[in-house]
Structure 1
Amino acid sequence: MSSKYRVKDVGQYLGQEITLKGWLYNKRSSGKLHFLQLRDGSGIIQCVMFKGDVSPEQFELGDKVTQESSIIVTGTVREDKRSPLGYELGVKNLEVLQMAKDYPISPKEHGPEFLMNYRHLWLRSAKQTAILRIRDEIIFAIREYLHKNGFVLADSPILTPAACEGTSTLFETDYFGEKAFLSQSGQLYAEASAMALGRTYCFGPTFRAEKSKTRRHLTEFWMVEPEVAYNDLDDNMDLAEDFIKYIIRQVLTNRAADLKTLERDTSKLQATVEKKFPRIDYTDAIEILHKKGNNTPWGGDIGGDEETLLGEDYDTPIMIHRYPAAIKAFYMKRDPKNPKVVLAVDVIGPEGAGEIIGGSEREADYDALLARLKEQGLDPKGYEWYLDLRRYGSVPHSGFGMGIERMVRWICGLQHVRETIPFPRMMDKIHP
């Protein structure tokens, strides 16, 4: 039953009779003609049914078939310069596998709450399928870049015995009578893998129990986390910049049609590929915020509003580095030139995209790491295995985490992160 032909490939069969299998996306009729839009996940094509080319029963079926009915259409591929695809299908035969009744999502405008309740069906819309194809391209580009550059995938566990990013945002679960948590990050385990493989990465779902309802937050999201032995902060920033540029180039090259469907202005994506990312010290960033009327004190966190202010003067991502040690995680290395700050970096996307990468050089000294654990109220006993990495062959190393949904949101030009993943999980959303 699988189809040999897909909508995206119909140009290869110009003048030939083919069979397409999919669903009715939309239709209109004009006297002796039915214009049936068939979608199959790879694209949408207009299928033109002329009354004189089919039987009366077939033409009546073309009139009765409803939105999102599953259909099989046989016809001849013809050129159509008015079509975004460049082709149409002259219908010879229509078969309806299942006639959909009262499809709840009509072409009219629906509110986000309604659409989220029907997310399992909303995914079928042209915009949502374009987003999913771009997401797929981003993930493929990530894996391709890392593979080409000598990184080895070594996945980290999802169930963990200890916190990575702070205990306040953990989802706790029972693990056969022992307390366990859903992973906030695979980084600590990636560090262990880097000590074995040199260049490694983990890629999987992560969970943050943040009570946040902003357009940038999900409770379940996907993150890729490269880790490199002997890389310092500057190496880490170079890697992050090259990584982002590669992903953008691949999307611009391979998903131009989907970006057009989203009406995405790609000029700033193109600028990202062509220009060097500005690197701004945290202290300088605070001064910039003060000049813009934002009174965040030195030592304060740079949140969403501050990220938007800092990024508004640039058409590329910017890199904010050397954050105060007091607001960053225990594993980040203090700057030897200024122990008040750590060798951390956040990559802030333009157009209000916010943080898309967070990373650092890791603390490689056993005594310093132990002191940081105690300073942040964490029990060293839960991190004995992690401390072992500093006991046996410790080296400078660094890495970062990139949130896939944040990247998808920025590249697609979306207002809310909920559209970047097939079934989003938020504070107030766990269905469907």
Structure 2
Amino acid sequence: MSHVVPVAELSQQVGQEVTVRGWLYNKRSSKNVHFLELRDGTGIVQTVVFKGNVTPELFQLAEGLGQESSIEATGLVKEHGKLKGTYELDAKDVRVIAHVARQYPISPKEHGTDFLMDNRHLWLRSKRQHAILRIRHTIIKAVRDFFDGRGFTLVDAPIFTPNACEGTSTLFETDYHGEPAYLTQSGQLYMEAAAAAVGKAYCFGPTFRAEKSKTRRHLAEFWMVEPEVAFLDLEGDMKLGEDFITYIVERVLETRAEELKICERDTTFLEKVKTPFPRITYHEAIKILQENGHPEAKVGDDFGGDEETVISNKFDRPLIVHRYPSDIKAFYFKRDPGNEALALNMDILAPEGYGEIIGGGQREDSLERLEAAIGHHKLPMEAFEWYLDLRRYGSFPHAGFGLGIERTVSWICGLPHVRETIPFPRMLNRLAP
């Protein structure tokens, strides 16, 4: 009996009889031959069914197969006669596992976005979406390999949180056995506790934002990785961030060239991602805006997508913007000793208009200053008693950041909208499938 082989390994089986299992991706037929494109998740192989090589019943069976029928094909592996490095299967037998009789909903014609999103469970089978999934997988593996290889410990942060510590407007509230609870926006505060235990910690999981935003950069549910490092300052945090992004991009370029080609990604932009990244202060970023079509930009403004695009377009690789005004940043950032009006924070902006992919910085390690910041932001002090304990019992300088997986996938793949970066996106007006 022939053995079952993944399509990706057919190059090692030339001249051998094997079996491939999968789904009918496409079919072309003539009087004497059927060309069945069979996909199995690892690739697509052309299965050639010659009329003279099979029984009349089998040849007729192949002719009637509908798209996405699941089948098992057995035959001889050959190198394609015209396409070097491509292999095909000269079939001697085809067995139908499940026949699809109805018309497949997604055809080669143009479909609207809503139609494709309604059929997301089927759209994932297309070449482009399949390629994006594989690039996403590589990015996630690179994330884990980077931190695991640098001595970090994975520490899982909770998804349910008891307090809306920064206001409820962008949090999803739920019932937790009769008490209000919220879906997490970030695991950062918990990673600060973890860093005091293991030195270098990171969490990696789903996070939730209830912003009523319809921009191409926003999802209601997304995945984020958040490292936190004891005895790290802002300078070290920026270095960690640029090393991290460079590592991810290099891994994708090394292992996913074919998938990037399917996405029609111009990789010359990605090949420029080398350390060190350009670094500018927030005030320098404001000046860039004022000189490039945003004369109204002023100190104290936060940056949206349009502003980030203008700033990043001045550079050919990711850019670090650091030291924003402390008044527009979260309460937990340490202030710059050289200028108390500034926070020791940083954002890393992806080029080509993809905006912020990393946000982080150094945390306030002084108990008194942190208490004052909580009061200044009018947050409930009792909700932060456990967080303040981290300063009461062996406080230490520390820093970290968060990287959103979906924005990173969007940038690396060159996608126009973040909805294609996650298998089943959750957006303002979409909760299905």
TM-score relative to the length of structure 1: 0.97
Between stretches 124-133 and 311-320, larger displacement belongs to 311-320
Shift of 1:30: 2.4
Cα deviation 1:372-414 (Å, max 9, x = unaligned): 1111110010010000001011000000000000110011110
Q: Give the structure 2 partner of residue 29 of structure 1.
A: 29
Shift of 1:296: 2.1
**Does structure 2 conserve the Cα–Cα contact (< 8 Å) formed by 1:166 and 1:329?**
no
Shift of 1:260: 1.2
> Aligned letter for 1:126?
K
Q: Distance in 2 between matches of 1:184 and 1:81?
A: 54
Cα deviation 1:254-287 (Å, max 9, x = unaligned): 1111111111111111100x35210110000000
> Aligned letter for 1:348?
L
> Aligned letter for 1:109?
E
Q: Give the structure 2 partner of residue 57 of structure 1.
A: 57
**Does structure 1 conserve the Cα–Cα contact (< 8 Å) formed by 2:332 and 2:364?**
yes
> Aligned letter for 1:50?
F
Q: Give the structure 1 partner of residue 44 of structure 2.
A: 44
Q: Give the structure 2 partner of residue 341 of structure 1.
A: 342
- Aligned pair count reads 429
Q: Give the structure 1 partner of residue 352 of structure 2.
A: 351
Superposed, which structure 2 residues align to 1:100-249 within 5 Å?
100=100, 101-163=102-164, 166-249=167-250
Q: Give the structure 2 partner of residue 281 of structure 1.
A: 281
Q: Distance in 1 between matches of 2:81 and 2:334?
A: 59
Q: Give the structure 2 partner of residue 20 of structure 1.
A: 20
Shift of 1:176: 1.3
> Aligned letter for 1:118?
N
**Does structure 1 conserve the Cα–Cα contact (< 8 Å) formed by 2:165 and 2:379?**
no
Q: Give the structure 2 partner of residue 256 of structure 1.
A: 257
**Does structure 2 conserve the Cα–Cα contact (< 8 Å) formed by 1:164 and 1:185?**
no
Q: Give the structure 2 partner of residue 91 of structure 1.
A: 91
Q: Distance in 1 between matches of 2:81 and 2:403?
A: 40
Cα deviation 1:217-268 (Å, max 9, x = unaligned): 0000000000000000000000000001111111111111111111111111
**1:330 to 1:167, Cα distance in 2 relative to 1, 3 A:** farther
Find the residue that maps to 1:38 and give its secondary structure: strand
**Does structure 1 conserve the Cα–Cα contact (< 8 Å) formed by 2:309 and 2:352?**
yes
**Does structure 2 conserve the Cα–Cα contact (< 8 Å) formed by 1:162 and 1:383?**
no
Q: Distance in 1 between matches of 2:30 and 2:313?
A: 49
**1:51 to 1:81, Cα distance in 2 relative to 1, 3 A:** closer
Name the Cα RMSD after superposition.
Answer: 1.2
Unmatched runs of 5 consecutive residues or more in structure 2? none
Find the residue that maps to 1:167 and give its secondary structure: coil
Q: Give the structure 1 partner of residue 298 of structure 2.
A: 297
> Aligned letter for 1:96?
V
Q: Distance in 1 between matches of 2:427 and 2:69?
A: 31
Q: Distance in 2 between matches of 1:145 and 1:84?
A: 35
**1:326 to 1:85, Cα distance in 2 relative to 1, 3 A:** farther
Between stretches 75-84 and 288-297, larger displacement belongs to 75-84
> Aligned letter for 2:241?
A
**1:416 to 1:385, Cα distance in 2 relative to 1, 3 A:** same
Shift of 1:4: 3.8
**1:84 to 1:309, Cα distance in 2 relative to 1, 3 A:** farther
Find the residue that maps to 1:429 and give its secondary structure: coil
Q: Give the structure 1 partner of residue 381 of structure 2.
A: 380
Find the residue that maps to 1:137 and give its secondary structure: helix
Identity over aligned pairs, percent: 59
Shift of 1:178: 1.6
Q: Distance in 2 between matches of 1:82 and 1:359?
A: 52
Q: Distance in 1 between matches of 2:168 and 2:282?
A: 25
Q: Distance in 1 between matches of 2:29 and 2:204?
A: 48
Find the residue that maps to 1:78 and give its secondary structure: strand
**1:32 to 1:170, Cα distance in 2 relative to 1, 3 A:** same
Superposed, which structure 2 residues align to 1:301-320 within 5 Å?
301-320=302-321
**Does structure 2 conserve the Cα–Cα contact (< 8 Å) formed by 1:307 and 1:355?**
yes
Shift of 1:320: 0.7
> Aligned letter for 1:350?
P
**Does structure 2 conserve the Cα–Cα contact (< 8 Å) formed by 1:231 and 1:361?**
yes
> Aligned letter for 1:39?
R
Shift of 1:311: 1.0
Find the residue that maps to 1:422 and give its secondary structure: coil
Q: Distance in 1 between matches of 2:206 and 2:234?
A: 26
Unmatched runs of 5 consecutive residues or more in structure 1? none
**Does structure 1 conserve the Cα–Cα contact (< 8 Å) formed by 2:75 and 2:91?**
yes
Q: Distance in 2 between matches of 1:84 and 1:259?
A: 20
**Does structure 1 conserve the Cα–Cα contact (< 8 Å) formed by 2:79 and 2:85?**
no
Find the residue that maps to 2:186 and give its secondary structure: coil
